[in-house]
């Protein structure tokens, strides 16, 4: 039994066998084959060896010419390794002896070598383990390019173990079989984590080297509440976690009493509690959770889920489905936030050294006007079916608001020409996620109808901490006094023209932040549907006077740890005091 601790990013407990998903989406299941197929599998294996050797020889030649002799030598070592006849013989033998596929044989032989190297007490030799892993991946790429395996083949409940997860991969998981997610990299607000939460799959990220220790088929417990992963637990531990799982289901059921109750503080201040969704199919859960509407519909998943760009009709169908299900409640549709960690297969993306600071989000939309127009037309057309609000992400300057609004105006004019209806009063807002926007909030408030604070990006850009990088995850904190001041500036800026301001980043769903946000003057929160009851419980437990006092004290503090500790302790005492009142 082995315990590992990472970041708890999606609550709940999952118990199941591990399925390893490497970063290139290849899963190597142990698949028995008929003995008559062994020869052709051996041929496939040999072909992959040849391809990998040729590829390495080409890389060697490329680096021969340059000054990078170390790189050249590395490729040369890898090539010699693959040319070693005894390695090839072991793979051939494995295929014949165990009647398994070429990829399984190659992967298992190389994994054995990897463990062997890793255990050698000589540092020089143990470091070669990483080379073996590299060689394994190269070989597998050639094999699996010929015969690709994905998680689409899962037929039993599993826990996905990955070195790295892209949001697209996560969104494609089948919830019926993927019961938990654990990952070496990632952070609480990385998009893969957001998707895991939206799908209600317990997940723990930033486990650093878990993939080095877990093998396919190992039993895992994923505790998405505490951030713990237990590898090959004892029967008693499994029984204990099953009990906790059942207790959590019961707690969730007890929240249902809150559904019909208003999100109102003890002293009668109404808070608008909205939901964030990524997929139209979540709209039902929004209503079940008792949300007043949708504060953030992340539309990127329309692009990421399929291999092709969505048409205007694809957009329209998705939006109308959500608007109709919400039945008169407002739906805030955010235009595409592509780029950074959300890429499509489209040729429109080129490699960037700093994609989070590059052609992302509204910048991408303004550069690809045809895609942007298709989305705007669909949003406008959907606004005839119910209250729709339009929101532009990642605004950093007034010029972007003006350009986006100009395009919107020309789309409206086109619809007018063809006699297609839309809500002429559709509110237009922006996300405040770049520090410059927070600082300029009082000015931006003259150009739009509402603000929504994207605290995930605002924190990332204010602190210069990549929200998905496990190595700096402990530096990512929205409790940072600088971040809190940017939020306060946004709220105050909005007040100068009286526009609404809400918070839709993950901060809004953390009980510890709820009191702070209310105290700073935020009156609307938008959170993942599953956390609405918990946030509502906190809102109903506090008074505005308590929240303002909290903010006053916190604004005198200098450090994240001091603020974090103080706010957590305050929220604990409020939660305990009021638990009995529910």
Candidate segments 76-84, 88-96, 455-463, 521-529, binder of Mg ion by CB under 5 A: 455-463
Q: Identify which of residues 211 and 456 has a Cβ nearer to ligand PEP in the complex.
A: 456
Q: Where are the beta strands (DSSP E) in 110-173?
A: 158-162
Cβ 315 to ligand PEP, closest distance in Å? 17
**What's the CA gap between 211 and 535, in Å, rounded?**
34
Cβ 91 to ligand PEP, closest distance in Å? 44
Candidate segments 50-58, 67-75, 404-412, 431-439, binder of Mg ion by CB under 5 A: 431-439
Q: Identify which of residues 167 and 521 has a Cβ nearer to ligand PEP in the complex.
A: 167
Radius of gyration of the chain (CA): 26
Q: Which does 385 bind (CB under 5 to 8 A by kind): Mg ion, ligand PEP, none?
A: none
Cβ 393 to ligand PEP, closest distance in Å? 7
**Residue 370 burial (10 A CB sphere; 0-12, 13-18, 19+):** exposed
**What's the CA gap between 422 and 384, in Å, rounded?**
5
**Locate tokens 């590395």: which residue?**
74
- Which member of 72, 114, 315, 504 is catalytic? 504
Q: Which does 78 bind (CB under 5 to 8 A by kind): ligand PEP, Mg ion, none?
A: none
Catalytic site includes residue 504 = yes
User: What is the torsional sign of CA 279, 280, 281, 282?
Assistant: positive
DSSP character string of 67-122: S-HHHHHHHHHHHHHHH-HHHHHHHHHHHHHHTB-HHHHHHHHHHHHHHHHHH-SS
User: What is the torsional sign of CA 412, 414, 416, 420?
Assistant: negative
Alpha carbon 110 to its chain's center: 31
Residue 379 CB: number of other CB atoms within 10 A?
28
- DSSP 8-state assignment for residue 336: P
Cβ 456 to ligand PEP, closest distance in Å? 3
Cβ 278 to ligand PEP, closest distance in Å? 9
Q: Identify which of residues 211 and 452 has a Cβ nearer to ligand PEP in the complex.
A: 452
Residues forming the site for ligand PEP (CB under 6 A): 194, 296, 298, 337, 433, 454-457, 504-505
Q: Identify which of residues 29 and 330 has a Cβ nearer to ligand PEP in the complex.
A: 330
Pick the binder of Mg ion from 454, 519, 521, 529 (CB under 5 A).
Answer: 454
The token pair that represents 53 in the structure block = 């050797």
Pick the binder of Mg ion from 149, 184, 282, 457 (CB under 5 A).
Answer: 457
Total residues interacting with Mg ion, rule: CB under 5 A: 3
Q: Identify which of residues 78 and 166 has a Cβ nearer to Mg ion in the complex.
A: 166
Q: Which does 455 bind (CB under 5 to 8 A by kind): ligand PEP, Mg ion, none?
A: ligand PEP
Q: Identify which of residues 41 and 337 has a Cβ nearer to ligand PEP in the complex.
A: 337
Q: Identify which of residues 184 and 466 has a Cβ nearer to Mg ion in the complex.
A: 466
- DSSP 8-state assignment for residue 522: -
- Which member of 38, 191, 315, 547 is catalytic? 191
**What's the CA gap between 481 and 559, in Å, rounded?**
7
**What's the CA gap between 493 and 435, in Å, rounded?**
13
Alpha carbon 1 to its chain's center: 29
**What's the CA gap between 520 and 438, in Å, rounded?**
14
**Which residues are bridge partners to 334 per DSSP?**
298, 391
Q: CA torsion, points 170, 175, 178, 180, in degrees to nearest 10?
A: 80
Q: Which does 136 bind (CB under 5 to 8 A by kind): ligand PEP, Mg ion, none?
A: none
Cβ 298 to ligand PEP, closest distance in Å? 5
Catalytic site includes residue 547 = no
Q: Is 386 in the site for Mg ion (CB under 5 A)?
A: no
Cβ 516 to ligand PEP, closest distance in Å? 16
Contacting residues toward Mg ion, per CB under 5 A: 433, 454, 457
Q: Which residues are catalytic?
A: 191, 504
């Amino acid at each position: 039994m082995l315990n590992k601790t990472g970041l708890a990013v999606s609550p709940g407990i999952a118990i199941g066998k591990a399925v390893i998903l490497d970063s290139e989406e290849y899963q190597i299941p142990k698949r028995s084959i008929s003995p008559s197929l062994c020869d052709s599998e051996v041929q496939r294996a040999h072909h992959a060896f040849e391809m990998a050797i040729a590829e390495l020889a080409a890389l060697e030649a490329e680096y021969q010419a340059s000054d990078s002799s170390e790189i050249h030598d590395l490729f040369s070592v890898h090539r010699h390794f693959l040319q070693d006849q005894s390695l090839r013989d072991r793979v051939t033998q494995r295929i014949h002896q165990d009647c398994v596929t070429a990829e399984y044989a190659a992967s298992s032989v190389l994994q054995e070598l990897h463990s062997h190297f890793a255990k050698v007490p000589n540092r020089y030799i143990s470091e070669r383990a990483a080379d073996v892993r590299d060689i394994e991946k190269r070989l597998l790429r050639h094999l699996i390019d010929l015969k690709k395996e994905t998680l689409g083949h899962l037929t039993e409940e599993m826990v996905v173990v990955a070195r790295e997860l892209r949001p697209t991969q996560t969104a494609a998981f089948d919830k019926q079989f993927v019961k938990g997610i654990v990952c070496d990299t990632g952070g609480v607000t990385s998009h893969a984590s957001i998707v895991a939460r939206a799908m209600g799959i317990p997940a723990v990220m930033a486990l650093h080297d878990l993939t080095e220790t877990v093998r396919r088929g190992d039993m895992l417990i994923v505790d998405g509440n505490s951030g713990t992963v237990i590898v090959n637990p004892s029967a008693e531990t499994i029984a204990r976690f099953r009990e906790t799982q059942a207790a959590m289901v019961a707690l969730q059921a007890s929240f249902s009493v809150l559904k019909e109750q208003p999100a109102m503080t003890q002293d009668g201040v109404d808070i608008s509690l909205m939901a964030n969704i990524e997929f139209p199919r979540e709209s039902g859960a929004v209503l079940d959770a008792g949300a007043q509407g949708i504060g953030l519909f992340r539309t990127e998943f329309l692009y990421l889920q399929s291999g092709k760009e969505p048409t205007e009709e694809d957009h329209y169908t998705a939006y109308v489905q959500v608007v109709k299900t919400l039945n008169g409640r407002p739906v805030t549709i955010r235009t595409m936030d592509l780029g950074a960690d959300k890429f499509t297969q489209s040729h429109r993306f080129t490699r960037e050294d700093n994609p989070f600071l590059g052609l992302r989000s509204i910048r991408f939309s303004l550069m690809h006007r045809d895609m942007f127009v298709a989305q705007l037309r669909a949003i406008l057309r959907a606004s005839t079916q119910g209250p729709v609000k339009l929101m532009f992400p990642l605004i950093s300057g007034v010029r972007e608001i003006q350009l986006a609004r100009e395009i919107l105006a020309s789309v409206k004019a086109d619809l007018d020409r063809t006699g297609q209806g839309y809500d002429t009063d559709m509110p237009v807002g922006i996300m405040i996620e770049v520090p410059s926007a927070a600082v300029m909030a009082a000015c931006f408030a003259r150009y739009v109808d509402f603000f929504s604070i994207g605290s995930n990006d605002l924190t990332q850009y204010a602190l210069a901490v990549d929200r998905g990088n496990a190595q700096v995850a402990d530096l990512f904190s929205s409790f940072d006094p600088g971040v809190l001041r940017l939020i306060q500036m946004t709220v105050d800026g909005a007040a100068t023209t009286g526009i609404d301001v809400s918070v839709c980043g993950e901060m809004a769903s953390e009980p510890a932040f709820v009191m702070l946000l209310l105290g700073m003057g935020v009156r609307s929160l938008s959170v993942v549907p599953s956390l609405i009851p918990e946030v509502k419980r906190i809102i109903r437990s506090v008074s505005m006077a308590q929240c303002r006092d909290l903010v006053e004290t916190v604004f005198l503090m200098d450090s994240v740890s001091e603020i974090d500790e103080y706010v957590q302790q305050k929220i604990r005492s409020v939660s305990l005091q009021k638990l009995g009142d529910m």
